[in-house]
Amino acid sequence: MIKPQCSVLLPVLNGQDYLAQAILSVLQQTFSNFELLVSVNKSTDASASVARSFSDPRITVYEQESKLSIFENHNFLLQRARGDFIKFMHHDDILHPVALESFVSFLLADTSLACVLSPVHMIDSSGNPIGVFPWAFGQRQRWRPGELFLVSLRLGNIVGNPASVMFRTHHLLHTHFDETKHNSADWQLLLQLLMSAPALAIDTPLVMYRVHNSSGSTGNHSALQTQREDLSIVINHGSELDNFGLYNGALLRQHLQLIHPILVAIKNGSTTDLSGIWDYESTLHPDLSMLEGGAYLRDVQQLRNCSEQHTPLTPSSFESLSISCLLSNDCPLTYELIAFLRESVADSLQPKRQIVLFGYQSWCSILWDLTNRFNFVIQSVINPSGSAPTEHQIHGTTVVPTLDSLKDIDAIIVAGGHRMEDFSWQWMIAGASFFNPSCRPRIIRCREWIL
């Protein structure tokens, strides 16, 4: 039997509605040297019949006699793959015709790469386009070992999921998906690879990723489970993050993700019982005491007590700047910005710190509100998108076209429209300054994006 160059692995659970389309998209690839392994996971629908309706000799179908967890099914296929490269896909995904050819060509061109990361076209249940999700920023870039690992831990999973990645099999020989996790084992596995091996991000979407109500990544329970697992991953990598001064920021972001439903309920005056969110030890993890001089942990403890006792709270009830800003302005600030502000407590004897705002969004008004509490002034605004806001919108602050003419700046506050844009602008301004928090002027993202 000829060894295939690429293994396409397709775990299935009750996927009869979309499975035929997914398989056809593999069979219609311009690249033909592949095997397609399908594992039907104790499905109660016609998934197995759909898979077996194709007579192509490159397809092997396995039917599980007992129910596997989602990542047990992934590992089952991984152990049977014979190709030099591995491409996972979900039963509701569709590969663009040149997907395998493109992925393989990149991996052949650079034999040191552990994987190639692609943006995805998102589609709805009927196949209608929703938009493009820019995994790994949707830009062509070769990431050195450890770089994307740190960036993703700090910003959340911006790397991708199995549908958007092709792996080099060699790099998966000594790792696997964590079968104890329900949703985040794919992110965890990607982080393990990115810690020690380079990866290539490309700017061309090669996969159509379907978003619909019955997909495994939707639903409140699934989201809560993912947030809990993501938080545990960040805590487990705390030492690596701390070496670059990134742990506190990553911890704050993931924790705000977890308790965000409670904060929204409080803001809306809801009396919904949210006590179940607290059934997780990391919600009061001792490392939270490092945030805002202990104010954050004290507020979280207060929040937990009040949510369980259905006691109303207002933003003024909190001493934590991150929680109070989220409640009052729906704009959670980054840990790095909070630390900068706390260093510049209003003091009439000290000169005001000079800040440039790079980008402008409506929620940036919170910064002008904070100038009354902290010792800084917003010197000017730069809008990199080209359409500068009016002076009325930015409280009369000067609008300037570029950073070139600015002098004596203490900090550049980046205010993009989403977390990918934030980091792309930050990287554009000073490249590796992300890994050097002591650089001057400091470059700080304004908003912590809660998904």
Place of tokens 């705000």: 256
| Nearest to 118, CA basis, from 107, 126, 109 | 107
Residue 451 falls inside a structural domain: no
Same domain, 381 and 289: no
Tell me whether strands 207-210 and 129-133 are parallel, antiparallel or unpaired: unpaired
Please report the pLDDT score of residue 273 as a whole number. 57
The answer to whether residues 437 and 241 touch, using CB atoms and an 8 Å cutoff, is: no
For the chain, the first-to-last Cα distance in angstroms comes to 47
Give the chain's domain count: 3
Same domain, 38 and 102: yes
Residue 20 falls inside a structural domain: yes
Q: What is the DSSP letter of 374?
A: B
Please report the pLDDT score of residue 432 as a whole number. 41
Same domain, 203 and 251: no
Q: List the CATH number of the domain containing 396.
A: 3.40.50.720
Same domain, 234 and 270: yes
Q: For residue 200, give both structure tokens.
A: 């290539």
Residue 364 falls inside a structural domain: yes
Same domain, 241 and 273: yes
Same domain, 83 and 176: yes
Same domain, 110 and 200: yes
Q: What is the DSSP letter of 288?
A: G
Please report the pLDDT score of residue 390 as a whole number. 47
Place of tokens 């912590």: 448
Please report the pLDDT score of residue 260 as a whole number. 79
* Domain stops at, among 330, 353, 370: 330
The answer to whether residues 139 and 194 touch, using CB atoms and an 8 Å cutoff, is: no
Q: For residue 52, give both structure tokens.
A: 């077996």
Domain boundaries, position 21: 6-210
Burial 420-440 (b: 16+ CB within 10 A, else e): bbbbbbbbebeeebbeeeeee
**For residues 90 and 209, what is the distance between their CA atoms, to the nearest angstrom?**
8
Q: List the CATH number of the domain containing 126.
A: 3.90.550.10
Please report the pLDDT score of residue 96 as a whole number. 97
* Domain stops at, among 183, 210, 237: 210
Same domain, 298 and 151: no
pLDDT tens string, the chain, 451 residues long: the values are: 689 999 999 999 999 999 999 999 999 999 999 999 999 998 899 999 999 999 999 999 999 999 999 999 999 999 999 999 999 999 999 999 999 999 999 999 999 999 999 999 999 989 899 999 888 888 899 999 999 999 999 988 988 888 899 999 999 988 899 999 988 999 999 999 999 999 999 999 999 999 877 655 544 447 778 888 998 999 999 999 999 899 999 999 998 888 877 777 766 766 555 556 665 545 678 888 889 889 998 888 887 777 677 676 666 778 888 888 887 777 889 999 998 888 877 666 778 888 888 887 878 888 888 887 888 888 888 877 655 454 434 555 666 656 666 667 888 899 888 888 888 888 777 654 444 454 567 889 988 887 6
Same domain, 323 and 397: no
| Strands (E) located in 14-103 | 34-40, 59-63, 85-88, 94-95
Torsion of CA 102, 131, 8, 152, to 10 degrees: 90
The answer to whether residues 97 and 28 touch, using CB atoms and an 8 Å cutoff, is: yes
**For residues 397 and 409, what is the distance between their CA atoms, to the nearest angstrom?**
15
| Nearest to 206, CA basis, from 308, 279, 102 | 102
Residue 1 falls inside a structural domain: no
Provide CB contacts within 8 A for 37, sequence distance 6+. Answer: 7, 8, 9, 10, 60, 62, 77, 80, 81
* Domain stops at, among 330, 353, 378: 330
| Nearest to 186, CA basis, from 213, 206, 209 | 209
Residue 235 falls inside a structural domain: yes
Residue 133 falls inside a structural domain: yes
Global pTM reads 0.87
Sign of the Cα pseudo-torsion (371, 374, 379, 383, in order): negative
Please report the pLDDT score of residue 161 as a whole number. 86
Torsion of CA 428, 429, 434, 436, to 10 degrees: 140
Same domain, 232 and 358: no
Same domain, 292 and 412: no
Same domain, 245 and 371: no
